[in-house]
Amino acid sequence: MERETKGDSDPDTHLEQDISIHIFTVSSAMVGVCLTVIGLIRVVITLGRADTLADDFLAGCALLFLVSCLLSYWALRSRSVRRMHRLEKVADAIFIVAMIGMVGVCALITYTVSVPAR
């Protein structure tokens, strides 16, 4: 049985590695962004200016970014091209879901801050 390995001569494999590297770096940075914004939201809530579920949703987004980061790292470390492609696709899908979630959280924060409390 022949084992598939990553070859430097295959341009598609090189492109997949580039995508995995980008997902890995950006998703790890986004975990930090989510944690920073959660801290800022907690400060606003503590000051009594607004109460929102945005920090809870951001924690979920941070977890999704972490999963995406770990999957893309696993894809980079994988010796099988087939496994690398599968892991990269899953990491990419989770990354997109987390980004959409962050946009939703931004809308929630904007709505919460702009609507006066009753």
Q: What is the pTM of this model?
A: 0.76
**The predicted structure's pLDDT at residue 48:** 74
Instruction: With a cut of 50, list the residues of the chain below it in pLDDT.
Output: 1-7
The answer to whether residues 62 and 34 touch, using CB atoms and an 8 Å cutoff, is yes
State the number of CA atoms in the 13 A half-sphere of 47 facing the CB.
9
- Structure confidence at residue 9 (pLDDT): 57
Place of tokens 């904007």: 110
